[in-house]
Structure 1
Amino acid sequence: MVELSRKEVLIMTYSTGEKPGKGNYQCTTCGEIVHLDDDTDTLPPCPKCNHTTYRKV
């Protein structure tokens, strides 16, 4: 198993308001998945818990 540094983990997270591109993003608090259809879509607050940090899945 490869361990990531804190800096690498922070780089791999995205926040509400960012436009990280097409794909699925998982809330780092509750695990809810948000799907962005377009490269210009903006990450919303999590629809389940209102948290604002995601990771790409």
Structure 2
Amino acid sequence: MSLHTAVVLLAAAVIGLVIAALTILSGVRPATAAVTGLTAAGASVTVLRTLIR
């Protein structure tokens, strides 16, 4: 795994965790927050891949 890939995946994981935590704090069920965090992480990979070059 290249350094670029590691940085992108790590940043995506952090974004997903932050979004999931904020969703839980808003009062939603944890399962919904997990799906929201995974969606945010997956969507951010494409954007981060082009931004981090």
TM-score, normalised to structure 1, is: 0.25
Q: Which has the higher helix share?
A: 2
Q: Which has the higher strand share?
A: 1
